[in-house]
Amino acid sequence: MSESPRAELRMHVTQAYTRTHEPAVKQHLEAALEVFEAVEEELRTCSQCGKQGLPERIRVHNCHAEK
């Protein structure tokens, strides 16, 4: 089974971070990883349809679950 897009993104950014020797690049990649982790923690799942997203978007999304 292949990795999820999120796992693949994390892997590529982490690999880039560990392979660069440029301090500015390392700083940007570190910031990207921190944001990635923060966003991952903020994701919510709609209890009706199972869709995942940021809390403010899940609250107002067009839920297609049967009611």
User: Global pTM?
Assistant: 0.58
* Closest CA relative to residue 32, chosen from 52, 54, 9, 53: 9
pLDDT in tens, 7-63: 888 899 999 999 999 999 999 999 999 998 887 677 888 989 988 888 888 889 888
Work out the angle at residue 42's Cα, subtended by the Cα atoms of residues 27 and 18, and round it to the nearest 5 degrees.
25
Locate 9 and state its tokens: 């993104």
Domain boundaries along the sequence of the chain: 5-60
Angle among Cα 33, 60, 58 to the nearest 5 degrees reads 35
**61 close to 51: Cβ distance less than 8 angstroms:** yes
Amino acid found at 21:
H
